[in-house]
Structure 1
Amino acid sequence: MALPRDKPPPLGASAPGRPGASPGGRQAVSSGTGFVVAPRQIMTNHHVAEGCAAMTARLAGGQEIPATVIAADQQRDLALLRTESDPGPVLPFRRAAEVRRGESVVTYGFPLAGLLSSGPTLTTGDVSALAGLGDNARQIQISAPVQQGNSGGPLLDLRGHVVGVIVSKLNAQRIAQATGDIPQNVNFAVKHTEAVDFMREHGVQPQLEEGGAPRTAAEVGEIAHASTVFLRCLR
């Protein structure tokens, strides 16, 4: 039996409960995650920013600031946002292009906002495959659990370097209908090399690092915390 190979559902989340009105009278309709990639520059997914009349970013300290989309790439599913005030320290990308199967990775983001903790959530897992669904060469497959709202969050190695941007998870319901079995922990991230190329194409210089001592997942989370933001889409 052929498996469904449609695009996995994106991980942007609908706004929980009653959407709150912004000062401009707009309503929060969905949410996602972003992270600081350059001074006053935040990266997230295209599908998180798509169709938003305005966006806000809630910083680690709780401040909420406006964010404006300055570049988007639907094929890569990436977007860059600009803020007028400092959103936090820049998260470095891994300089080396290679990511290995079995490599341990950490996610950091805001899944299921309004249902789970209002603060960020950390999960751990491994790189499962070096391509996404249908051999999508722009993505990698990971076993770290992700949920709606994780979209646009950083995927980090154990040295605290970004190796991907969380984007989607396998449609477990459709796979179960086709095979009778529920797949577990089949999730996807845009490769860090794609994110770096996207930034450079739009005149933004990424911070690249290599080496460094291995850290615990908790230590990696502490690095990510100050640089990862909760995004709201307003319409």
Structure 2
Amino acid sequence: MRALLLSSALLLSVPALAQAPAPADPPTATAAEAGFRVINRTGQAANALHAVRSGRPDWGGNLLPRPLPNNAGYRLRSNPQAGCRFDLRLVLEDGREAVSRNEDICAQRDVTLDGTNLAPAGAVVRPSPEQPTAPQAIPRPGVRASTGTGFLVAGERVLTNRHVVDGCDRVLVRGPDGRNHAAVPPARTDARLDLALLAVPGLSGPVLSFRQDPPLRRGEGVVAYGYPLSGLLSSDAKLTRGEVNGLAGLRDNPDQIQISAPVQPGNSGGPLLDMQGNVVGVVVSKLNAQAVAGRTGDIAQNINFAVRGERAAAFLRAAGVAPATARSTGADRSAADVGEIAERATVFIRCER
């Protein structure tokens, strides 16, 4: 006898971009961890160096312990959560400023600032938010569209379900700041796990950490966060709370866990977090209660599934991304606090056909 609904009818099906397995992804946050070097070629010493994530509204503090001579370099090591895109500024001895915006420090390990287009002393040179370098990607009217959820796992990298990014002409990712960015195909995918890693140039922000230990237990509280039923419900993210019901998925699938946190179409690809705010799963499917009732005469209630967090983390490492990890110890946070952690890194995904 066939298993109940072991087909796409089980999935929170929100297709997006059909993509074949990709070659090795470009360098990501792992390169940022190794550091990069800013080289002063302005013709004079610099008294201050500022390096901030592209999109930050201020320049932060001076990173130089002493003046940086002309033709000298200064090495920096960034937080992997900051991603790969940085705005850089040297403040020179005479007060002029050399600025370079939106540098990809994962791809370009030596960044040179020279004397071209120096801003005069006293000029206010602001980071990139007030001087955007690229237009926002705009959804196209009159096309078939479906939606899903994803979350930042590194700078310009978003994790979601494969079925969210399968069969679309274009994928738009709306970041936590409300701006839309176009994903660049092809994605790195895993059909068995139903996972996909998207490259989204210009998208940056905090990343979510994957739970490292202790092992997940039945009965633990979890929070699902995402964008269900877009176009019917409000456009903001939705939070639901539940528990871990089982440590395997349908038919003893070892790659999944069963949860009671309610999920709907559109939640696919969203993070499932423990009560410390660490990722323990990626929402992937729900049991079709109507079809189960037709087969058994009973209505299955609130049976939902997520890809196990450790399987998702292994997928990221195989794709060249070192996921952030954390231990879940200490007192549980409130669901509202966990939701605030998720909000900073969870994105809305729109598939256009």
**How many angstroms does 1:25 deviate by?**
7.8
Partner residue in 2 for 1:52: 168
Q: CA distance change for structure 1 residues 172 and 57 in 2, over 3 Å: closer, same or farther?
A: same
Instruction: Specify the code of the residue in structure 2 equivalent to 1:182.
Output: I
Partner residue in 1 for 2:245: 128
Partner residue in 1 for 2:152: 36
**How many angstroms does 1:33 deviate by?**
0.1
Instruction: Specify the code of the residue in structure 1 equivalent to 2:154.
Output: A
Partner residue in 2 for 1:197: 314
Report the count of equivalent residues.
Answer: 230
Q: CA RMSD in A?
A: 2.2
Which aligned pairs between 1:183-194 and structure 2 lie closer than 5 A? 183-194=300-311
Partners of 2:159 and 2:197 within 8 A in 1:
yes
Q: Percent identity?
A: 53
Q: CA distance change for structure 1 residues 200 and 26 in 2, over 3 Å: closer, same or farther?
A: farther
Partners of 1:37 and 1:207 within 8 A in 2:
yes
Structure 1: where are the runs of 5+ without partners? 16-20
Q: 1:142-173: CA deviations, max 9, x gaps?
A: 00000000000000000000000000000111
Structure 2: where are the runs of 5+ without partners? 17-136
Distance in structure 1 (CA, Å) of the matches to 2:301 and 2:236: 25
> Is the partner of 2:315 in helix, strand or coil?
helix
The structure having more radius of gyration, on CA atoms, is: 2
Distance in structure 1 (CA, Å) of the matches to 2:287 and 2:251: 11
Higher relative contact order, chain-length normalized (CA < 8 Å, sep 6+): 1
Deviates more, 1:179-188 or 1:64-73: 64-73
Partners of 2:138 and 2:180 within 8 A in 1:
no
The answer to whether structure 1 residue 107 and structure 2 residue 224 are counterparts is yes
TM-score (norm 1): 0.91
Partner residue in 1 for 2:30: none
**How many angstroms does 1:27 deviate by?**
2.7
Which aligned pairs between 1:55-94 and structure 2 lie closer than 5 A? 55-69=171-185, 70-94=187-211
Q: CA distance change for structure 1 residues 76 and 97 in 2, over 3 Å: closer, same or farther?
A: farther
Q: 1:50-104: CA deviations, max 9, x gaps?
A: 1122211111221111112430011100000111113321100001272110000
The answer to whether structure 1 residue 162 and structure 2 residue 279 are counterparts is yes
Q: 1:176-213: CA deviations, max 9, x gaps?
A: 01221111110000000110110111111100111354
